[in-house]
Structure 1
Amino acid sequence: MWLLAPAMALSMGLSPLQVGMLFAARQIGSGIAHLPAGFIGDNLRKRGFFLLATFWCVAAAQLMASVSTDYWVLVGFLTLASAGAAAWHPVAMGIMTQWMPNRKGFVLGMHMAGGTIAEIAAPMLVGLSLMYLSWTQVLQINTIPTIILGLIFVRFAPMVIPPLAGLPIGPNIRSLARSVVQPGTLAILFTIVLHNMAMVAFMSMAPLFFQEVKDFSPGLTGLAFSVFLFGGAVSSPFVGHISDVFGRKTMTIGGLVGGGICLWLITFGSSEWTIFPLLIITGILMLSVRSIVLAMALEKIGNRESTVLGLISAVGEGVAALGAVLAGVLGEIDLGLVLILAGGLSVVAGLAICPLTQNSSALSCKSMGSASG
């Protein structure tokens, strides 16, 4: 979707602020969907069929958006598609962390790497397609993989393991609420919100920045996005594993602060030969730390993984809509300011973790292993 923004803006006469509002609406839709999805993931025994429904929600909404000519109708259907896609993640991540509770960083990193691998090819294909096709045709073609995966998942939906038994809803929700208001948890949530705002601000305006300021073609812009995502996809499982062994705090601070600085440096890049390496490094630093921060939150809050992940994502994604709005406002003035904003948000997100005590997952894993022995 990010790469379709310039073509949509040109075709429909949208301003940077309207583009920012579109992505803000999508973020709000994602945020709203996360919390009930997480709750369903922890309480619905046949949750595989819920996961199956998310594929068809996304496919139907994107097809309707592709034939919409009104701006607000387009916003509505793309928001619905984002909500459907968002509903998948807290349930899927909760299931994976239940399988490997002592390796949360690695498991969440694998989940994010798997999702990002598909996004690596998509920007290049979308960028090349936009050179020959309209954005509506590209959106329709982009829906085909979702439909295929929806058909394949019909077979796998009944195989999804049920949630853990013996978790009463009322007491656990009250315990969850008490855990969330603890200072350490609030600091992690604040970091997640700022990190998401940084990512949304950057990704919503980066295509316009690269094409209008750096004079990239649509194909080169797609390649730029791919190398950014490639860095995060390759590094996420390894970074998650390292954080499981040596702890998460230092890696989180380094990734967020370093990634923010790299975003600032991109504004000074004069060609793709300087911008592309910076994008790879930024992807490695900023994208891979997300799994670490989520693992930190799970360790702070405790059980009901899908509900916790849904809550975290709802807060993070919902408030992150402000990042798209701010990016749109700054984009009206200077698109380079958007990258400065995103970099600043990332740096502040990293600094927000500093007051927390070092959390070594290695110690917790060893203690859990010795207790089970």
Structure 2
Amino acid sequence: MFKFIKQKLANIAQERELTSETTDLNPTISKREYKGSFVLGSLSFGHVLIHWFQQLWPVLIPSIKSGLGLSNVEIGTLTSVRQFAAGPLLAIPSGLLADLYRRRTAIILASAFVAFGLSHFLLAKVPNFFWMVPCVAFLGVGTALWHPASMGTLSRRFPDRRGTALAIHGVGASIGDTIAPIAIGFLLLSVSWRGLLEFHLLPALLIALVLWVGLTPVYRNQAGEETKPTFRSYWNDVKDLMSSHVVLAIIAVNVLTGMARLTTMTFLPIYIQDDLAYSAFGLGFFWALLHIMGAISQPVMGYLSDKFGRKAVLLPALILYGLLYLALAIAEPGAQLITVIVALGIFFYALVNVTQATIMDVATDQIQSSTMGITGVFTQFLSLPAPILAGYLVNNYGTESSFIFAGVVTLIAALVLFMIHVPRSNRPTPKILG
């Protein structure tokens, strides 16, 4: 690990030296590199905040369940509704919007936070399961707006280092996923879940304003250098993408791993707080453990997939990932449980970036944002029944059965990937982004 970091620092120093030598000869290059770093930094930091909001739901699940007297199946249904809004319902429209209106990307990104603030505020007011369904669906709008726009931007700006750029963006998610559960769990010791949700409205609106003001000039200037695609050419590129056997196989992998992840996000909090009798703060601690390793593993896996190929990273990772889910079902509380959850965190979100980079490698430039939506429709829609099915398993066989289910479907995903050929892209050896 230290060798890896040392090599990256050397690459950064070398790039800065080369940049300083060429600034006088070609100031446009230096300006473009600065813009690239600014965009990458802004979107990665924004991703930290996006995942703060996304972590509100899983950490609050036990409190909401007990507060409203919901069953396991009802909780599983709400998680599926949330994913449906973030995926099948809005994935294609949000991706199309981001690709066809790149000059307005800053507005799209800001709107994601407006949606998060309003949806959580409304969720705090619901009296029962019936009214919770539309409010939980609204929670998915912010996720649907942010990810196609931000990841499409990075994929186009860093085509030779796509895996690395998406991974750095993913580090923001890991940081948010690590900090938020601990902070939210701590706040729940003294604040009700309704009060906590209401509080998030004002910060969300302020963040939206900052993003809109800060990023509008960047996207407006960038869009002047690009040609807006026609709908016919856009549709032809979409059809070509969906005819690729690599894309279809990766969608299958995403469906299966998405089923495992959704199941875990729904029932691991219940297992920790209800079955093992940890406090809300204890739940936040364990939930943070699940995400903290992603801050390290995501850039490493992204870089390695750029250098050695996507499949070389994905296949062994999927096998280990599936085995760790199975281990979660038998881990004893304490050191064993902590070890397994930390190890799971290496893959929990890092694999998403590598599979997405694999699909973006196949896609043309003008549908980069839409790849999130196009593949997300299938991935999210087909994985939606998983929490509901897991809810029935939990009712009949205990919470541990949900982790066994997650492990089995993840190992099936590894088998699917094993059976296909994923070609290496003809790109130069990637450099670390500076």
Match of 2:182 in 1: 124
Within the candidate set 21, 24, 27, 2:80 is matched to 24
1:351 aligns with 2:351: no
Find the aligned partners of 1:171 and 1:4 in 2 and give their Cα distance. Answer: 44
* Equivalent AA in structure 2 for residue 34 of structure 1: A
Shift of the 178–284 alpha-carbon distance from structure 1 to 2, 3 Å rule, reads same
Deviation at 1:174, TM superposition (A): 2.3
Within the candidate set 268, 281, 294, 1:206 is matched to 268
Find the aligned partners of 1:224 and 1:78 in 2 and give their Cα distance. Answer: 24
Deviation at 1:308, TM superposition (A): 1.4
Q: Structure 1 vs Structure 2: percent identity of aligned residues?
A: 22
* 1:273-292 alignment runs, 5 A limit: 273-292=335-354
Please say which of residues 163-172 and 294-303 is displaced more in the overlay.
163-172
* Equivalent AA in structure 2 for residue 91 of structure 1: A
1:190 aligns with 2:190: no
Find the aligned partners of 2:234 and 2:107 in 1 and give their Cα distance. Answer: 24
Match of 2:319 in 1: 257
* Equivalent AA in structure 1 for residue 418 of structure 2: C
Within the candidate set 65, 72, 86, 1:9 is matched to 65
Within the candidate set 94, 115, 126, 1:37 is matched to 94
Deviation at 1:85, TM superposition (A): 2.3
Contact 2:111 2:145 in 1 (8 A): no
1:308 aligns with 2:366: no
Find the aligned partners of 1:145 and 1:323 in 2 and give their Cα distance. Answer: 33
1:216 aligns with 2:278: yes
Deviation at 1:144, TM superposition (A): 4.9
* Equivalent AA in structure 2 for residue 262 of structure 1: L
Find the aligned partners of 1:53 and 1:138 in 2 and give their Cα distance. Answer: 21
* Equivalent AA in structure 2 for residue 179 of structure 1: L
1:152 aligns with 2:152: no
Calculate the TM-score normalised by the size of structure 1.
Answer: 0.93
Contact 2:325 2:407 in 1 (8 A): yes
Contact 2:260 2:409 in 1 (8 A): yes
Contact 2:307 2:429 in 1 (8 A): no
Find the aligned partners of 1:237 and 1:2 in 2 and give their Cα distance. Answer: 25
Deviation at 1:151, TM superposition (A): 2.8
Specify the SS of the correspondent of 1:267.
helix
Within the candidate set 36, 55, 77, 2:135 is matched to 77
Find the aligned partners of 1:318 and 1:87 in 2 and give their Cα distance. Answer: 17
Deviation at 1:142, TM superposition (A): 4.3
* Equivalent AA in structure 1 for residue 270 of structure 2: L
Deviation at 1:269, TM superposition (A): 1.6
Within the candidate set 235, 246, 256, 2:308 is matched to 246
Contact 2:100 2:228 in 1 (8 A): no
Please say which of residues 170-179 and 36-45 is displaced more in the overlay.
170-179
1:319 aligns with 2:382: yes
Find the aligned partners of 1:306 and 1:14 in 2 and give their Cα distance. Answer: 37
1:57 aligns with 2:115: yes
Deviation at 1:109, TM superposition (A): 0.9
Higher RCO, 1 vs 2 (CA within 8 Å, ≥6 residues apart):
1
Contact 1:259 1:285 in 2 (8 A): yes
The C-alpha deviation readout for 1:213-232, integer Å capped at 9, x for no partner, is 23322211111110111112
Contact 1:52 1:157 in 2 (8 A): no
Within the candidate set 123, 127, 138, 2:196 is matched to 138
Match of 1:336 in 2: 400
Find the aligned partners of 1:311 and 1:29 in 2 and give their Cα distance. Answer: 14
Can you give the 5+ residue segments of structure 2 that lack an aligned partner in the other structure?
1-56
Contact 1:243 1:251 in 2 (8 A): yes
Contact 2:237 2:364 in 1 (8 A): no
Specify the SS of the correspondent of 1:103.
helix
Specify the SS of the correspondent of 2:389.
helix
The C-alpha deviation readout for 1:83-123, integer Å capped at 9, x for no partner, is 22221101110001111011111111111211221121111
Find the aligned partners of 2:180 and 2:109 in 1 and give their Cα distance. Answer: 22
The C-alpha deviation readout for 1:278-334, integer Å capped at 9, x for no partner, is 111111033211111111111123331001122122322232222221222222221
Please say which of residues 34-43 and 175-184 is displaced more in the overlay.
175-184
Within the candidate set 130, 153, 159, 1:101 is matched to 159
Match of 1:226 in 2: 288
Can you give the 5+ residue segments of structure 1 that lack an aligned partner in the other structure?
none
The C-alpha deviation readout for 1:191-242, integer Å capped at 9, x for no partner, is 1111111100111111111122233222111111101111123211111011
Shift of the 176–154 alpha-carbon distance from structure 1 to 2, 3 Å rule, reads closer
The C-alpha deviation readout for 1:43-96, integer Å capped at 9, x for no partner, is 112221122112111111110111111312222112112122221101110001
* Equivalent AA in structure 2 for residue 309 of structure 1: M
Q: How many residues align?
A: 367
The C-alpha deviation readout for 1:124-177, integer Å capped at 9, x for no partner, is 112222222221122223445433322321312413425541532212312312
